[in-house]
Copies of this chain bind each other. A is one copy, B any other.
Amino acid sequence: MDRELLKGSTPLLLLSLLCEGPMYGYQIIETVRARTGGSYALKEGALYPALHKLEATEFISSYWQTQENGRERRYYQIQPAGETFLAAKKLEWNQFVDMIQVFVGPRD
């Protein structure tokens, strides 16, 4: 998958995922890989900066949770402001797809 196409879609993807419930970084990466059959390999170098940015803008929040084996995980959770933002992003996404479709033509 062309990396340039991906740009800008990461927040949309992350907020959509977190809408289903809190997740931790590694889990997000694995979930994305699994659901796309491996065609989208979200990288750590893209994920963590994106998560931290979403947290800085208070669209999501995070908390550490200790597992039974004593290790810690950082869970990310969507915030009300994030849901609002997500709704706007979804709208923008649909407009974007429509826009490109105008030129590329309908799908086969």
Contact = CB atoms under 8 A, between A and B. Distances in A.
A79 interface: no
Interface string A33-65: 001100110000000000000000000000000
Contact of A2 (B40, B92, B104): B92
A39 B7 CA distance: 19
A36 to B, nearest CB: 5
A5 B96 contact: yes
Main secondary structure of the interface of A (DSSP, over half): helix
A50 to B, nearest CB: 11
Interface in A84-108: 90, 92-97, 99-100, 102-105, 107
A16 B95 contact: no
Nearest 7 pairs between A and B by C-beta? A4-B8, A5-B8, A7-B7, A16-B103, A16-B104, A4-B7, A13-B103
